[in-house]
């Protein structure tokens, strides 16, 4: 185990090498202060806690941050874990350092959660802090990187949950900030715990073929170096094997084993000028055979995270394809350190136009207005984490959009007024539908009209970006309140009826008051309007207030709740359900054909000798409820509003056939701490597969969270309730 002194020495070495402009005296003072405050604390491995702040400070120095940022890294846990206050830090080390520490302190509470509202609030705090000082998130990423490096000391459950959080939030965030080197390490370390078998398979293969790989890379480097020297181009050539997670993704997307993959190698050529980049590209294409369709020019069209390079894939004489990236030294520093590069080389001096590089943060903050939490989190991942597509206006301006965007997204990316007055679109002079997916290099022209009636509600289902969806909602909110109220009320009342709740109960003042308190709206009309313009779904609203409604509506003992139409004079609370009808004490069983759980709309069937069988109303076997010949055997039932044991249910998951999906589904169920009774999969024709998973849940809300997580997996096309 390394000592505190060794970590201190390592941090100071990193500062001298990567950030020589840092004030060493202030750093030393902050170190001693943090060491004193954390003196009684230990890490999971039993080492002194101060080792963690030292390691985080070393990482911030390696990416070239300034003095205040390194002090913030050393002190980042003081407010959270010790008796230190904001004022204490501000008095000793300055207001800026205190604000950095406070910002990181808030972000330490950002954890992956199955509760979308909580996750939205955590992400909101993150982007608010980023918008004030981007160094907050840079320190937080450094903090996460060190925690990832020491994940072996955590429990298996914590390893999985933290690795999922890293893969879903912090690695994509590092990518969005252009910090590729850190992104790769976060992904590789997370894969080690999320997919241990696949990780080991790849690492074993790379170890076994190390000598062969080194020989191949030396040959390619020598060939390129000789050519560039011969034509007088000064440059450095580096070869590497692609990182583990990148190889894993190729295996998954292509359905191949690692033995079947060829493009495992990448070479980087770094030169002095942009003209040299294009000259090198010509020589590389002369030396090796070009793979058609695999050339990308990110110099003339940089990525939103400021990344610039030429990318081409070629095939050498051995028939092995490999990627070549060509860039200048300035581009290389930006590719390695991303947003942190200007601290490293400009020592924190603001550059003109720099704020435009972070415009995406502002857009993410704007998109949280009037947005349902679940939709916001989903759209956030689309806007921030998805691959981009680059398209052009007729005048040649480049517009970056999430992959899968449509002309609607393009119009609203230009301006709200353009989107609101849009009546059509052309791509390369050809009229296209509104749902046409844009491709890299498309030249898009938006057709507008002064007499346009505004956006259609259907556009909300077509557009891809949260920016467009938010602007469309804003239009409906401003222009169509009365229509929104009518539309929202209809949706809300239909959802109430799905739970056997009579919408007329809202005429009761007490019920209305309870609903407004729970849903956080000033009036019922405001809630209807929000549903109408898409700010929240009717399902979400009813889900929030359903328990409150049932509580208010629950009558005195042995009376039927208002608004719940139970047949018969008596009800019995049996096995978590209230059975209507004067049928005396009876046995209740839950049907295996539809596996109902609390929250489902249910009905009971009186069986011969086996009591009452509970079905979902949409179950195929419940169609007989309308059959006059069986009317005396069907009874109304509702769920009792009591805590009950979990109920078993089954999901059927349709997907494309791919390796790892079975493990992905099992990992989600394990991370949610669900009792799984059965999980199986089988292949179907046309390269499809069907997975069946049976597990216990407490209610439909918990079940929907499971479904939402599974639907987000790559390759999954449908998740539906099944039968056991």
Helices (H), 288-392: 329-337, 341-346, 354-357, 359-366, 373-380
Helices (H), 255-300: 274-287
Rounded to 5 degrees, what are φ and ψ at 213? -65, -45
Of the candidates 23, 35, 80, 201, the residue annotated as catalytic is: 80
Q: Are 446 and 391 in contact (CB under 8 A)?
A: no
3-state secondary structure of 111: coil
Half-sphere exposure of 682 (CA within 13 A, CB side): 4
Q: CB 259: neighbour CB atoms within 10 A?
A: 8
Tokens coding 27: 């750093």
CA dist., res. 590 & res. 596, Å (int)? 7
Degrees to nearest 5, angle at CA 434 with 433 and 435: 90
Q: Which residue has the tokens 């039927």?
A: 560
String of DSSP letters for 442-480: -BEEEEE-TT-----TTHHHH---HHHHHHHHHHHHHH-
CA dist., res. 182 & res. 175, Å (int)? 8
Exposed/middle/buried for 692, CB within 10 Å: 0-12, 13-18, 19+?
A: middle
Q: Residues with Cβ < 8 Å from 280, sequence gap 6 or more?
A: 228, 233, 235, 269, 271, 310, 326
718 catalytically annotated: no
- Over its C-alpha atoms, the chain yields an Rg (Å, rounded) of 30
CA dist., res. 243 & res. 29, Å (int)? 38
3-state secondary structure of 343: helix
Of the candidates 23, 35, 81, 525, the residue annotated as catalytic is: 81
Q: Are 344 and 329 in contact (CB under 8 A)?
A: no
Cα distances from 609 to residues 485, 549, 577, 633, in angstroms, run 50, 35, 19, 13
Q: Are 258 and 198 in contact (CB under 8 A)?
A: no
CA dist., res. 708 & res. 697, Å (int)? 14
Q: CB 645: neighbour CB atoms within 10 A?
A: 9
Q: Are 576 and 639 in contact (CB under 8 A)?
A: yes
80 catalytically annotated: yes
Q: Are 80 and 97 in contact (CB under 8 A)?
A: no
CB < 8 Å & 24+ apart, contacts of 535-538: 535/370, 535/371, 535/372, 535/473, 535/477, 536/372, 537/372, 537/375, 538/488, 538/491, 538/492, 538/494, 538/495
- By annotation, the residues acting in catalysis are 80-81
């Amino acid at each position: 185990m390394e000592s505190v002194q060794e970590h201190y020495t390592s941090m100071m070495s990193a500062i001298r090498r990567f950030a020589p402009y840092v004030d060493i005296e202030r750093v030393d003072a902050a170190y001693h202060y943090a060491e004193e405050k954390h003196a009684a604390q230990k890490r999971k491995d039993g080492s002194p806690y101060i080792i963690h702040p030292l390691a985080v400070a070393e990482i911030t120095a390696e990416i070239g941050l300034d003095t205040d940022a390194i002090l913030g890294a050393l002190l980042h846990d003081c407010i959270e874990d010790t008796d230190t206050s904001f004022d204490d830090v501000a008095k000793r080390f300055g207001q800026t350092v205190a604000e950095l520490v406070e910002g990181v302190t808030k972000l330490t509470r950002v954890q992956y959660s199955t509760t979308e509202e909580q996750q939205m609030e955590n992400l909101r705090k993150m982007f608010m802090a980023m918008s004030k000082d981007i160094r907050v998130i840079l320190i937080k990423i450094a903090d996460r990187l060190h925690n990832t490096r020491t994940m072996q000391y955590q429990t298996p459950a914590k390893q999985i949950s933290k690795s999922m959080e890293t893969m879903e939030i912090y690695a994509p965030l590092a990518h969005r900030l252009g910090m590729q080197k850190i992104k790769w390490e976060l992904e590789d370390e997370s894969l080690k715990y999320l997919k241990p078998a696949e990780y080991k398979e790849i690492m074993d293969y790379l170890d076994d073929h190390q000598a062969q790989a080194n020989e191949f890379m030396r040959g390619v480097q020598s060939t390129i170096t000789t050519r560039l020297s011969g034509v007088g181009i000064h440059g450095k050539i580096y070869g590497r094997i692609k990182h583990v997670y990148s190889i894993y993704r190729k295996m998954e997307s292509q359905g191949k084993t690692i033995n079947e993959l060829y493009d495992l190698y990448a070479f980087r050529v770094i030169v002095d000028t942009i003209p040299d980049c294009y000259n090198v590209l010509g020589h590389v294409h002369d030396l090796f055979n070009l793979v058609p369709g695999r050339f990308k020019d990110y110099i003339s069209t940089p990525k939103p995270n400021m990344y610039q390079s030429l990318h081409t894939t070629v095939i050498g004489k051995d028939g092995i394809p490999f990627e070549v990236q060509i860039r200048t030294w300035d581009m290389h520093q930006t590719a390695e350190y991303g947003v942190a590069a200007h601290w490293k080389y400009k020592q924190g001096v603001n550059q003109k136009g720099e704020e435009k590089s972070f415009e995406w943060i502002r857009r993410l903050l704007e998109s949280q207005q009037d947005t349902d939490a679940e939709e916001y989190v989903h759209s956030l991942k689309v806007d921030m984490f998805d691959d981009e597509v680059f398209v052009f206006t007729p005048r040649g301006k480049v517009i970056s959009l999430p992959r899968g965007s449509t002309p609607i997204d393009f119009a609203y990316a230009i301006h709200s007024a353009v989107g609101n007055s849009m009546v059509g679109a052309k791509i390369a002079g050809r009229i296209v539908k509104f749902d046409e997916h844009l491709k890299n290099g498309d030249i898009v022209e938006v057709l507008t009209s002064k007499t346009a009636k505004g956006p259609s509600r259907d556009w909300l289902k077509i557009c891809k970006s949260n920016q467009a969806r938010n602007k469309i909602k804003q239009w409906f909110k401003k222009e169509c309140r009365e229509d929104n109220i009518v539309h929202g009320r209809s949706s809300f009342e239909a959802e109430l009826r799905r739970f056997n709740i009579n919408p007329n109960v809202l005429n009761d003042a007490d019920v209305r008051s309870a609903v407004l308190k729970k849903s956080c709206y000033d009036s019922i009309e405001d809630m209807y309007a929000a549903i109408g313009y898409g700010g929240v779904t009717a399902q979400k609203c009813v889900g929030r207030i359903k328990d409150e409604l049932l509580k208010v509506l629950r009558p005195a003992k042995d009376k039927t709740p208002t608004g719940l139409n139970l047949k018969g004079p008596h009800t019995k609370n049996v096995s978590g359900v209230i059975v209507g009808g004067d049928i005396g004490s009876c046995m209740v069983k839950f049907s295996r054909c539809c596996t109902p759980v609390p929250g489902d709309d249910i009905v009971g069937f009186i069986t011969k000798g086996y009591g009452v069988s509970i079905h979902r109303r949409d179950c195929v076997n419940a169609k007989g409820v309308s059959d006059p010949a069986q009317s005396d055997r069907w009874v109304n039932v509702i769920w009792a509003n009591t805590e009950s044991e979990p109920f078993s249910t089954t999901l059927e998951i349709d997907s494309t056939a791919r390796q790892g999906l079975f493990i992905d589904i099992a990992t989600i169920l394990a991370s949610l701490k669900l009792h799984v009774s059965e999980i199986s999969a089988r292949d179907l024709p046309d390269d499809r597969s069907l997975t069946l998973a049976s597990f216990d849940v407490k209610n439909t809300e918990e079940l929907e969270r499971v479904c939402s997580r599974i639907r987000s997996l790559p390759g999954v096309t449908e998740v539906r309730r099944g039968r056991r």
